[in-house]
Amino acid sequence: MHPPLAPLKEKTREGAFYIPKKMKNLETLCVQAGWTPSKGEPRVLPIYQSTTFKYDSSEQMARLFDLEDQGYFYTRLANPTNDAVAAKINALEGGVGCVLTSSGQAANFYAVFNICQAGDHFITSNSIYGGTFNLFGVTLKKLGIECTFVDPEWDDERIENEFKPNTKCFFGETISNPGGNVFDIERFADMAHRHGVPLIVDNTFATPINCRPFEWGCDIVTHSTTKYMDGHATQVGGAVVDSGNFPWDKYADKFPGLTTPDESYHGLTYTKKFGRQAYITKIVSQLMRDMGSIPSPQNSFLLNLGLETLHLRMPRHCENAQRVAEWLEANPHVAWVNYPGLKTNKYHELAKKYMPNGTCGVIAFGLKGNREDAIRFMDNLEFICIVTHVADARTCVLHPASHTHRQLSDEQLMEAGVRPDLIRLSVGIENCDDIIADLKQAME
Ligand SMILES: *Cc1c(COP(=O)(O)O)cnc(C)c1O
């Protein structure tokens, strides 16, 4: 006996799994969206650990290859477990389509590379994750794609001066990792649109529970699902979600990859054939086909378990982090604290606008004293561990200057909004008294 494959064709709506209309609120979507079994099918999302899928005739298979029919044939292009989880994330963000990737890095690479090629240019906020900073500033450059880093604090005129005729997108992080700066999504969406390009926002730290960038004009959302979405540090993964709102055809000359025939698909034009899903379809059928970077179905299964409690964990992360940030701010050993939930924080107003229910569990702070004091403090912690990770259920710390960002010079660190003394504290969902007690004994 084999479990029947879900009757995907009937359930499929606009390329995503069917999301019943009654599932309106985020909490219900977290628990239920994506996998909606029919009679006799497994209640829990099955792991379709198969590279390939069976068809009855060569004709059926040919139609899949021509993108004439929807269906599964090879897991690099689509897999039911991966698709069910992508459908859940798509529903949470309110998009028209989502593709899962093997990491957050792959998601950001695909998001940009899908509309930029050699000779193109794009603009990014300089307050972004270290890995993305390298990807954009070093690796994409080797592919002939130039990137300008701007400080979101600059006034509009200064930033708008950086747009060129070959500029193809604008990029930022809702809450930057590790600095905790809040990105003014609406302002940069308007600016990008004035110049005929989409805004891409990495929404990893806020998650759709706290912020849905599409509601503020953002066009494409990316995620490292490795962080809060998984929440238990069990898998590395990423996602790209398409709002379907960017008018590619209006700026057809800028985006020939979407608006002119794709020779590798017998002259199919993505915007003509897929309308609002042109961008996300191109990622799957072109970038994923040619470069891989799919998650394993096993990892998507784990990610889905995490997503089922995202709406419960995020408020707890925020509540704990708020208390810890206030405690740090009042602590004589602490030189500075950056947490958008603090009233004294310069991003507090933006945080209230975009994330009225809380931001995330990540706090950046500096200790009085030198670099060695910071390292001694971290070594003295008991259950709070030093790990190259952030945003999971367990409280953890990291010193970016000596860990994740060690390949950046001090000058680049400051440019990326990372002070050399910055300690990144990712507040988990333990009892907050215990978290504060551990911090306290380590400081003393
Ligand atoms: C971790 C992270 C990434 C990279 O994700 P991986 O899953 O580690 O590849 C990208 N953006 C942000 C904001 C992150 O925190």
Residue 365 · residue 328 · CB < 8 Å: yes
Q: Can you give the pLDDT of all 444 residues of the chain as single tens digits?
A: 232 333 333 344 333 456 767 778 999 999 999 998 888 889 999 999 999 998 888 888 888 777 777 778 889 988 999 999 999 999 999 999 999 999 999 999 999 999 999 999 999 999 999 899 999 999 999 999 999 999 999 999 999 999 999 999 999 999 998 889 999 999 999 999 999 999 999 999 999 999 999 999 999 999 999 999 999 999 999 999 999 999 999 999 999 999 999 988 889 999 999 999 999 999 998 999 999 999 999 999 999 999 999 999 999 999 999 999 999 999 999 999 999 999 999 999 999 999 999 999 999 999 998 778 888 999 999 999 998 889 999 999 998 888 877 777 778 777 766 788 889 999 999 999 999 999 999 998
Mutation probe of ligand 1 site: the residue of 100, 103, 105, 293 with most atoms within 8 A of C-beta: 105
HSE, side-chain direction, 13 A CA sphere, residue 396: 17
Q: Which atom of ligand 1 is nearest to the CA of 132?
A: 10
Entry pTM: 0.93
Using a 10 angstrom Cβ sphere, with 0-12 exposed, 13-18 middle and 19 or more buried, the burial of residue 319 is: middle
- Distance between CA 163 and CA 121 in Å, rounded? 9
DSSP state, 149? E
- Distance between CA 130 and CA 365 in Å, rounded? 17
Mutation probe of ligand 1 site: the residue of 224, 293, 389 with most atoms within 8 A of C-beta: 224
Name which residue sits closest to atom 12 of ligand 1, judged by CA: 129
CB-ligand 1 contact for 132 (6 Å cutoff):
yes
